[in-house]
Amino acid sequence: MRRLILGLCLCISLFSLSSCFDIVEEIDMKANGSGSIKGTLNLSKSKTKTASLMKLDKIDGFKVPSESDIRREVGTIVSLLEKTKGISNVNYRLDFKNYIASISCDFQNVQALNAYTKTLGAHFKSRFNENTNYTFDAKTKTFVRTYKHSAEAKKEFGKLGAENQKSFNQAYYTSIYRFDQGVVKQSSDLAKLSPNKKAVMLKTSINSLIAGKANLANSIVLQ
């Protein structure tokens, strides 16, 4: 989990000591299986504290990244994604006023979407890409996300002090899947269907993901 957050452009030292943050994953899927993905890290709800932390050199042994460090890291991520097969139109946004970071790109097919997570996982030495996978069957019009809980995330979280763990109480993860066609059904008990039936949203606390109490898996059947 720490590496996943890092992949969204900021250091865990800021997150664990900030009051709250949100991670949002948005996937727009076309009927032919191509689409776009956008990952956003939003610390705006604790921007005052985050701004204060970024003025420090280290916090509890963690080096606090400077704006130049963050820009350099994002540049590396963008370069890696641009070299990933099936990935194109890579863009990023860094807002140091509100502390919002996002990376987006287009994917040619679901294999390229999986390559996206694999590229980030390899760069940050994370096993996140092994815990989640996407498939899309154009014939049955079924989009599937598989997911399994990471025991590693729970172990790493346990190493944080009690006060830092408490900071995650207001941290949330949201996934949003949008489609050209209407959704006939979806399998997740946590997810909700939009009024126009063309989008599925799942929002859960980071604590629930770390503890293995929330499952991101879903099978979505389209019209």
198 domain residue, yes or no: yes
The per-residue pLDDT for 20 is: 76
141 domain residue, yes or no: no
What Å distances lie between residue 121 and 27, 77, 81, 155, 202, CA to CA? 18, 11, 12, 18, 22
The per-residue pLDDT for 216 is: 94
Mean pLDDT of the chain, nearest integer: 84
User: Residue 17: pLDDT above 60?
Assistant: no
Which H or E element spans position 177? strand 172-179
User: Residue 154: pLDDT above 90?
Assistant: no
The total domain count for the chain is: 1
Kindly report, residue by residue over 35-44, the tens digit of the pLDDT: 999 999 888 8
Which H or E element spans position 183? strand 183-186
Distance CA 88, CA 1 (A): 26
Q: Which residue has the tokens 């809980």?
A: 149
Percent of the chain with pLDDT over 70: 85
26 domain residue, yes or no: yes
65 domain residue, yes or no: yes
43 domain residue, yes or no: yes
Edge to edge, the sheet with strand 22-29 lists 87-95, 100-107, 35-42, 22-29, 172-179, 199-205, 192-193
The residue among 175, 194, 101 whose CA lies nearest residue 134 is: 175
Kindly report, residue by residue over 176-213, the tens digit of the pLDDT: 999 999 999 999 999 999 999 999 999 999 889 888 89
Helix (H, G, I), strand (E, B) or coil at 144: strand
143 domain residue, yes or no: no
The per-residue pLDDT for 74 is: 87
99 domain residue, yes or no: yes
The amino acid that residue 61 corresponds to is: G
User: Which carries the bigger pLDDT value, residue 24 or residue 53?
Assistant: 24
12 domain residue, yes or no: yes
In Å, the largest CA–CA distance within the chain is 54
Residues spanned by the domain of 204:
2-127+150-181+190-213
The per-residue pLDDT for 135 is: 97
CB 204 within 8 A of CB 172: yes
Model confidence at 4, in pLDDT bands (50, 70, 90)? very low
Phi, psi (5° rounding) for residue 155? -65, -45
